[in-house]
Structure 1
Amino acid sequence: MSWDFERSPKIAFVGTGAQGASIGADFALAGLDVTFIEQWPEHVDAMNERGITVHLPMRSINANVRAKHLCQVAELRERFDIIFLVVKAYDTRWTCQLVEPVLASDGLVVGVQNGMTQHAIASVVGVERTVGAVFDMASNMFVPGVTNRQNDHDTSWFALGALDPANRARVERIAELLRLSGRVEVSDDIGSAKWMKLVVNAAQLVPSAILNLPFAEAIKMPGMATVMRTAGYEAMRAAQADGASIVPILGMAPTTTNDPERYVDEIFDEVLKTFMMPDTLTTVLQDWRKRRRAEVLDINGYVVETLKRAEQAAPINERIVEIARSIERGSLAAQASNSSLFAS
């Protein structure tokens, strides 16, 4: 490949909201050659004027960064060795089409995203230039140029995996870079790892947002712990129907159980214990409060469609999607009383 670690590879973060900006700030402070590419105009302007500020639990950092508007991608003449894609799952394909002309011929796109986006990335840039990723880190952003990261490096977790096995050594080097921002593992089965994360996301992200509550509060509402865990059980059935294996994620020890539902409970509890603060709003609820569409179809909807192809039902995930879509259409408000809508 053209880049090596005798020099700093040219890196772009595409999507520099709460998550992308905080990771990119760590890279910038380490002196790496980083460009931020972002679709929120006021955020781009703020970063160019004042840098990116990241508030962590016990400290704050500020990094001077080079930020570009999406409309400026066509003006770029450099090609990037590594592009970290940190956009919403539903924006994956068109974003890859936008940045593919500035990706080096042997460069890699790393999809640090929810959902099974590695397939959409590969459909645009090719399997040989695609790296799948899984992560768990709680952040939020409501002010341009400022992100609030609730997990410092010790409780931020990533896993990376090449779609093309020939790229494993290159992914190991990218993992070295990403360790500037958290714990990182390299997986030989990133598809299964992404499914395991989707399992826990199906149980937590949308159901808690439907109640307009932080996850730690939503789970205490009558019946919601059962709803959430059942959504996770259905998602695990979808994962297995899709050929995924039960693999450890989040830095957990290899599972000793052959019971898929018990493993769902284990990863569900690990996220609640390590990655969610009492006031953590899931990314879905943040999107709704910003009047944005959320990744409902890429998470719970993906479970429903996968099981449908396997001629199986996913009644709880179907109900979650139905309610969530009503909220996005404006015919229903996200509110705590929505817990009653799951009553059988």
Structure 2
Amino acid sequence: MAWDEARNLRIAVVGTGAQGASIGADFALAGLDVTFIEQWPEHVAAMRAAGITVNMPDRSITANVRALHLCQVAELREHFDIVFLVVKAYDTKWTSQLIEPVLASDGLVVGVQNGMTQDDIASVVGVERSVGAVFDMASNMFVPGMTNRQNDHDTSWFALGALDPANQGRVEKIAELLRHSGRVEVTEDIRSAKWMKLIVNAAQLVPSAILNLPFAEAMKVPGMTEVMRAAGYEAMRAAIADGAKIVPILGMQPTKVNDPERYVDQIFDEVQKTFMMADTLTTVLQDWRKGRRGEVLDLNGHVVRTLEKAGQTAPVNKRVVEAGRAIEAGKLPPQLSNSSLLVA
């Protein structure tokens, strides 16, 4: 059985944009059996011609890879033991449906994504074949065949957890593979870990993008740091309402703080210190600059929906969602003056 030897596992990375390509390149250079599956035709062509290049702060790597377009999945005859799903949260369900026919009967799908995507994956492939994941790694891609990764392995972080406890041993094998790309933790409470990361994402990704600024610059705008932290406090209330526990992420030590808002501040500060560079553009702003939809509804929108279900309100996140949706509808450009829409 392939699972008896982790290095012999057949791997697919579905969604090889900035994050997925970085992870896949590390796998390829480690000699693992990895296939890239991607929807951007020019990117597939570039990788076939010259491999994938990953530029990091102090070095660059290039890996020759097997790259397939999404339309070629139907031509595959082999089955994959592990599928790393690295697509936008809103693309989770249909991508899971696309890949399920080529997933081994004992294979696992790992959702390396923002948002609470684990349930969408499980609804397609089954809980017994689903693994939740959370990560922090800043990167961007604007040129086919090339990704710019701002966190090298020492400052890239992942956490993994099985949805079915019976799979926890196999999750350890996946962690062994993923350590080729960064620090990896295995948790028995991946749902809570994903909530803790969603709290950070709700606070940072969309609010800074609405101003059309790198995250570090958006924080300097009067009132915006307070808006971001308030969005995080609401997200923490949503997490607790959904049954999540306050758990450490990003390699932080277990918290001794009983104040949920204080813990939000600690996570917020850790991301700012370790994972964000001065020029880091959040994934949402990158999407908007490419003319694509961002994960507004999967992040801040999820906070609003969760608190509404619990009979509570999320006024800050609601303002973020309204501004973000207006930008995506073409009714509002992302610009500095939008801070007036967010600052109470």
What range describes the TM-score normalised by the shorter chain of this pair?
over 0.9
Q: Cα offset for 1:46?
A: 0.4
| Residue equivalent to 1:43 | 43
Give distance in 2, aligned partners of 1:301 and 1:331.
19
- Counting matched residue pairs gives 344
Partners of 2:8 and 2:220 in 1: CA distance: 48
Per-residue deviation, residues 124-177 of structure 1 (Å, max 9, x unmatched): 000000000000000000000000000000000000000000111100011000
Gaps (5+ residues) in structure 1?
none
Gaps of 5+ in 2: none
Q: Which residue of 2 aligns with 1:81?
A: 81
1:341 aligned partner: 341
Aligned to 1:300: 300
Q: Describe the SS at the equivalent of 2:299.
A: helix
Separation of aligned partners in 2, 1:74 and 1:237:
43
Q: Which residue of 1 aligns with 2:177?
A: 177
Q: For 1:1-344, list aligned pairs within 5 A.
A: 2-5=2-5, 8-344=8-344
Query: Secondary structure at 1:303's aligned position in 2?
Result: helix
User: Which 4+ stretches in 1 moved above 6 angstroms?
Assistant: none
CA contact 1:2–1:106 (8 Å) conserved in 2: no
**In the alignment, is the contact (CA less than 8 A) between 1:111 and 1:118 conserved in 2?**
yes
Write the distance in 2 (CA, Å) between the matches of 1:208 and 1:7.
40
* C-alpha distance in structure 2 between counterparts of 1:342 and 1:163, whole Å: 36
Aligned-residue CA RMSD in angstroms?
0.8
Distance 1:71 1:168 in 2: 33
Q: Deviations over 1:3-46 (max 9, x none)?
A: 32175110000000000000000000011000000000000010
Q: Is the 8 A contact 2:36 2:66 kept in 1?
A: yes
Structure 1: distance between partners of 2:187 and 2:210: 33
The CA distance in 1 between the partners of 2:342 and 2:108, in whole Å, is: 43
What's the secondary structure of 2:297's corresponding residue?
helix
Distance 2:186 2:7 in 1: 23
Contact 2:28 2:63 survives alignment (8 Å): yes
Q: 1:82 deviation in Å? A: 0.2
Residue by residue over 1:266-325, the C-alpha shift from the partner in whole angstroms, topping out at 9 and shown as x without a partner, is 000000000000000000000000000000000000000000000000000000000000
Alpha-carbon separation, structure 2, partners of 1:339 and 1:61: 39
**Code of the aligned partner of 1:236:** M
The one-letter code of the counterpart of 1:211 is L
Quote how far apart the aligned CAs of 1:2 are: 4.5
| SS of aligned partner of 1:246 | coil
Distance 1:173 1:313 in 2: 41
Per-residue Cα deviation, 1:55-89 (whole angstroms, up to 9, x for no partner): 00000000000000000000000000000000000
Cα 1:310/1:177, change in 2 over 3 Å: same
- Equivalents in 2 of 1:292, 1:175: separation in Å? 31
Are the aligned partners of 2:224 and 2:343 in contact in 1 as well (CA < 8 Å)?
Answer: no
Matched letter for residue 43 of structure 2: H
Within 1, Cα distance between the matches of 2:267 and 2:311?
26
Q: What SS does structure 2 have at the residue aligned with 1:297? A: coil
Overall identity of the aligned pairs, in %: 80
- Aligned counterparts of 1:194 and 1:242: Cα–Cα separation in 2: 12
Deviation track 1:166-215 (CA, whole Å, cap 9, x = no partner) reads: 11110001100000000000000000000000000000000000000000
- What CA distance in whole angstroms lies between the structure 2 residues aligned with 1:7 and 1:230? 44
Partner Cα separation in structure 1 for residue 165 and residue 263 of structure 2: 27
**Residue type of the alignment partner of 1:136:** D
Q: 1:7 to 1:209 in 2, by over 3 A?
A: closer
- Displacement of 1:341: 1.3
| CA distance in 1: counterparts of 2:165 and 2:57, whole angstroms | 38
8 Å contact from structure 2 (residues 2, 8) kept in 1: no
Q: What amino acid does structure 2 have at the position aligned with 1:307?
A: L
- Residue 8 of structure 2 aligns to a residue whose secondary structure is coil
Change (3 A) 1:235 1:125: same
Say whether the 8 Å CA contact 1:79–1:104 is kept in structure 2.
Answer: yes
